[in-house]
Structure 1
């Protein structure tokens, strides 16, 4: 039975979809004005894992992840580059897709762009004004009146009196209260024409928070199962999404038995570098495409999922090397077994049950991966048909997390992408020289070749029949 930690209730809850057997899930995606960094990779990998496990568990999943393609940062970058907004955003959307594909991730079922949902955003803003939860200020901006919604703060656990407006947004001249946030930004004379749309409140563009409310409600309905994103979005972005969405639907007096906007809120932990949160302002962020120049995409996924999705991760090359070593251990268990095919996952099997129990405990991937390591050790000890069956199960269970689906030898011989050592051809030449030395009974030379290869990160394994296999250390 799947349990999910719900940020809204601050507890694990048994997962009960609104429609039995079907799951509607929305994840906040990227703001496309630059290349994606490793923090974006964590969001993509975590919720790719969630979708894979839900589908492996028999659910029909509708996975929506949005693209923010209009935003202050986008406008600023486009002006700096002297290029149209669409040229900038399309370029970085293509780059995001390229990074995601190289990481081996599934595409969302729907990937709405904010600029395609302006009508829906305006409709929701109009409803909030009608419900007297929004107003147009003297500066032309339309703002949400936070203090008129009694339940505001339920996701973050903050009361209205505890909120410090100075930590959230600068107080605009058109706001009635410093806690209020913008729904529609009035166009400024200096802003390009491709950053403004006509509206009942004059030319302008949507605020960031209203974008996700409008897109998710349009595609998934006013009440859906799971909403995900990074922990930094919990407040104020997701808090404001709840306020807008429920305010538009119920007005100021949502009743206790009224369905919430979202049933389960999931937030993944931060990436940290040297124990500091990774951020562009600190200059300690790493682009996905740069990391993938040095590390195999499967290693990056393994590194991310070795930690629980809600926990912070400390990023370093050493941590990624450790992940590569762990993945190498799993792939090594699958070598020398002819035609390892996946097998059906039968929860009566104790290995499969342990794995499923871990995943059903709030997607506990560290424990699930521990099961894979234990099973790999069992594969190494087993013989004959049992070995073949256990190897197939290892591949099948790993496959639910998108691991262990490649030819083991290809993975083991790949090593680090930036490895400056010997090529595969050079290694084979050294192995041939070693074989010749052994045939000539020059064992000192043969041992010297083995030692030299090991110093360059290449491990030789002598097999029966005079066969020598190799892998990167």
Structure 2
């Protein structure tokens, strides 16, 4: 990357207001904390989009966790009892995961606020474990095993949210609302409406049905170049924001101590 210093005279100066027109404030905050506060920040479109994708992944995982736990919580409320998952023990693997995230967070934040490690390693490792646990919940299990998984997910969700809250990455909005905001920003960057994407999804499905796989692949590639990823989930195709592969621009160096306060979420 070209570590060029940001300045108005060079024409590579961006304000927070300008950046947040196309990217969610949480994505900007994540991006800034992905570099140690003592180090200069290399700002580029690809890096802010990587941060945006990371935020989407975080909130999608939390939303998936909520969706998985809701049926059990609702059933317990109808029975007028506490959620049964709370009386079960967490799995040893979940206990280890939570313990590691907690200890890593305390150690790295005490080590001169080492936020890059928290975001890029410790938190990502925990989120991968959560997604793995979500896949297990969907499988048929014995009742006690299922209760243990529910309890594990409940505690994992709580720990992740505590870390995000401390870092200022936990929005006051619901996860679904944040996800929709992130998708709206992606649509704005792509200069598309959601109906346009849905029409292309239908066209791709028809092309694949007619064994015109080259056209189907072309639609997917064209959308990916605009920052829209198509995901085949069972018989359904959904879309989500992604990093635009052809949008790399020269990096500019931002001195953190001169930054304006981040926009609130």
Q: Identify whether the pair has TM-score above 0.5, normalized to the shorter chain.
A: yes
Q: Does 1:470 find its partner at 2:234?
A: no
Aligned to 1:352: 102
Is the contact between residue 358 and residue 367 of structure 1 (CA under 8 Å) also seen in structure 2? yes
Aligned residues: 193
- What secondary structure, in the 3-state scheme, does the structure 1 residue paired with 2:36 have? coil
Q: Secondary structure at the match of 2:22?
A: coil
Is the contact made by 1:331 and 1:412 (CA closer than 8 Å) also made in structure 2?
A: no
Q: Which residue of 2 aligns with 1:3?
A: none
**1:317 equivalenced with 2:45 (yes/no):** yes
Task: Find the aligned partners of 1:361 and 1:340 in 2 and give their Cα distance.
Answer: 36
Unpaired segments of 5 or more residues in structure 2? 70-94, 138-149, 243-265
Question: Out of 137, 146, 160, which is 1:394 matched to?
Answer: 160
Compared with structure 1, are the counterparts of its residues 317 and 388 closer, same or farther at alpha carbon in structure 2 (3 Å cutoff)?
Answer: same
What are the equivalent positions in structure 2 for 1:227-238 lying under 5 Å apart? none
1:293 aligns with 2:21: yes
Paired residue for 1:100?
none
4+ residue segments displaced more than 6 Å: none
Q: Deviations over 1:355-413 (max 9, x none)?
A: 22222222221122121111112122223223454344323322222225432642553
From the superposition, tell whether residues 288 and 451 of structure 1 become closer, same or farther in structure 2 (CA, over 3 Å). closer
Give the SS at the match of 1:286.
coil
2:3 to 264, 268, 274: 274
Alpha-carbon separation, structure 2, partners of 1:365 and 1:453: 33
Partner Cα separation in structure 1 for residue 33 and residue 187 of structure 2: 20
* Residues in 2 aligned to 1:339 and 1:447: alpha-carbon distance in whole angstroms: 31
SS of structure 1 residue aligned to 2:167 = coil
Please state whether the residue corresponding to 2:231 is helix, strand or coil.
strand
Question: Corresponding residue for 1:305?
Answer: 33
Is residue 98–residue 156 contact of structure 2 (8 Å, CA) maintained in 1? no
1:430 to 200, 217, 234: 200
Tell me which residue corresponds to 2:210: 442
Contact in 1 for aligned 2:22/2:185 (Cα 8 Å): no
- Residue 300 of structure 1 deviates from its aligned partner by 1.0
Distance 2:11 2:200 in 1: 44
SS of alignment partner, residue 65 of structure 2? coil
Q: 1:442 to 1:364 in 2, by over 3 A?
A: same
Conserved? CA contact 2:229–2:239, under 8 Å: yes
Q: Tell me how far 1:451 sits from its aligned partner.
A: 4.4
TM-score (norm 1): 0.35
Q: Deviations over 1:212-231 (max 9, x none)?
A: xxxxxxxxxxxxxxxxxxxx
Q: TM-score of the superposition, structure 2-length normalised? A: 0.59
Cα deviation, 1:326-375, whole Å, max 9, x if unaligned, reads 3344344335333489xxxx997332222222222222211221211111
Contact map agreement 1:461 1:469 (CA 8 A) in 2: yes
Residue in 2 that maps onto 1:57:
none
Measured in 1, the distance between the counterparts of 2:8 and 2:223 equals 41
Once the two structures are superposed, residues 72-108 of structure 1 have per-residue CA deviations (whole angstroms, 9 ceiling, x without a partner) of: xxxxxxxxxxxxxxxxxxxxxxxxxxxxxxxxxxxxx
Larger radius of gyration: 1
Shift of 1:461: 1.7
Alpha-carbon distance change, 308 to 444 in structure 1, aligned in 2, over 3 angstroms: same
5+ residue gaps, structure 1, are 1-272
* Bigger fraction of residues in strand: 1
From 62, 77, 83, the equivalent of 1:334 is 62
Instruction: Give the RMSD, CA atoms, in angstroms.
Output: 3.4
1:425 positional shift: 1.5
